[in-house]
């Protein structure tokens, strides 16, 4: 991987990095310029960490070597009036030599606490702060952090105590263990969200690849993932094969995580493959439809589900929307139904017909596609739906229904990873 230095950064990255150094370190930017301009690093993050480590955490002899190794450093400092030419390395770093033994102990105690909270030391230049303000600033930062923690816990206390009116479950939430209260650094918190959602996306794409293999081998993906989910190390959630994931969180967090990794010099090709697999699900589903209909153009097609998941009206990045656009591109005539998402869908798909009921969506259709796993679709009068369809063909993109039951009712039935 190509190494970077401050000199190889583009203007925007260089300005951002130098501003960050100036703000966090409260040291003049020349410290970074003179010390790190030539030294190569794998990423901006690595360069930044080296800066904070060198100035804030290095032992005295290393700090002295830092200055001695760059003859112009002390001279430039003197010219700027920030430090004297004969300043010790301790003075150059933070003026720690001015603290008493007890104050120095307090300084390190607070510095360690600040690093634990924010992932970096808080270094104060002696040109701006004396020994008293150093300690006061540390105390202020830590008190603010503690206050923020208390305020957040107060906000979430009804959730932690499970004493709130749930807008989803009625009359009460399922009986599950209460949520945990976890306090982390800001950097860890951001990474937790990206890592968690990316892992869920990975599980979905993994299930879809196993589903494709199951089709080739004559296995049943339902049986496979059910057995896998019994292993407590794996769990059964997010192992459903089908059209893939959508919505605003998983795709966005996946892309952000990949971008973050690349900027930090970490090769996360695995997540690129997760995204690639997910994008191919619509094509795979459409091939199932094409193999049954042969010609899609001009055919009446019903679509059940437009939201990216059940129990929401959110259609952002919904696989169902991509599927409808694909059908329109092939010249199909579409009548769609969703319990909650049709108003939002109309804004982006005004050219299709919207049905008042699932039965209206199925009327005269030569194929009925299930694109969202709404529970109410399981409970439909499927005999009635068969009777109103021009051809009783179901292509189930969510493996919502039983292949055997649907065939017993006289349907042609196609799904993912299960024997037809």
* Residues known to be catalytic: 249
- β-bridge partners, 368: 302, 394
Please tell me the distance from the alpha carbon of residue 344 to that of residue 322, in angstroms, as a whole number.
Answer: 14
What count of other Cβ atoms lies within 10 Å of the Cβ of residue 19? 11
In contact, 186 and 119? CB cutoff 8 Å: yes
Q: How far is CA 392 from CA 372, 383, 396, in A?
A: 19, 10, 13
In contact, 339 and 376? CB cutoff 8 Å: yes
Here the tokens at position 131 are 């020994």
Bridge pairing between strands 300-304 and 333-337: parallel
């Amino acid at each position: 991987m190509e190494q970077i230095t401050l000199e190889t950064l583009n203007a925007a990255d260089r300005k951002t990095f130098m501003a960050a150094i100036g703000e966090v370190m409260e040291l003049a930017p020349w410290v970074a310029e003179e010390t790190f301009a030539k030294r190569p690093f794998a990423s901006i993050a690595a360069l930044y960490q080296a800066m904070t480590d060198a100035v804030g955490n290095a032992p005295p002899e290393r700090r002295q070597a830092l200055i001695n190794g760059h003859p112009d450093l002390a001279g430039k400092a003197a010219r700027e009036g920030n430090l004297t030419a004969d300043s010790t390395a301790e003075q150059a770093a933070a003026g720690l030599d001015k603290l008493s033994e007890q104050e120095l102990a307090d300084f390190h105690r607070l510095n360690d606490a600040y690093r634990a909270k924010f992932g970096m030391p808080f270094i104060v230049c002696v040109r701006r702060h004396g020994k008293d303000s150093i300690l006061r600033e540390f105390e202020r930062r830590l008190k603010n952090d503690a206050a923020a923690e208390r305020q957040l816990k107060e906000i979430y206390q009804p959730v932690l105590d499970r004493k709130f009116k749930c807008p989803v479950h009625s009359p009460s939430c399922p009986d599950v263990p209460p949520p945990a209260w976890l306090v982390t650094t800001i950097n860890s918190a951001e990474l937790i969200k990206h890592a968690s959602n990316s892992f869920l996306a990975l599980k979905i794409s993994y299930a879809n690849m196993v589903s494709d293999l199951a089709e080739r081998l004559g296995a049943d993906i339902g049986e496979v993932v059910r057995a896998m989910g019994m292993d407590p190390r794996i769990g059964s959630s997010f192992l459903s094969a089908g059209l893939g994931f959508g919505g605003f969180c998983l795709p966005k967090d996946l892309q952000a995580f990949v971008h973050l990794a690349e900027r930090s010099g970490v090769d996360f090709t695995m997540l690129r493959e997760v995204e690639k697999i997910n994008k191919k699900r619509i094509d795979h589903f459409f091939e199932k439809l094409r193999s049954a209909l042969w010609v899609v153009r001009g055919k009446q097609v019903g679509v059940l589900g437009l939201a990216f998941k059940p129990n929401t009206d959110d259609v952002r990045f919904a696989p169902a929307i991509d599927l409808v656009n694909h059908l329109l591109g092939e010249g199909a005539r579409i009548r769609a139904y969703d319990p909650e998402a049709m108003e939002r869908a109309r804004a982006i798909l005004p050219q299709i017909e919207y049905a008042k009921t699932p039965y209206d969506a199925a009327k005269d259709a030569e194929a009925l596609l299930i694109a969202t796993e709404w529970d109410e679709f399981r409970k439909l009068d499927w005999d009635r739906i068969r009777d109103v369809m021009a051809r009783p063909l179901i292509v189930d993109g969510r493996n919502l229904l039983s292949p055997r039951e649907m065939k017993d009712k006289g349907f042609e039935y196609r799904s993912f990873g299960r024997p037809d």
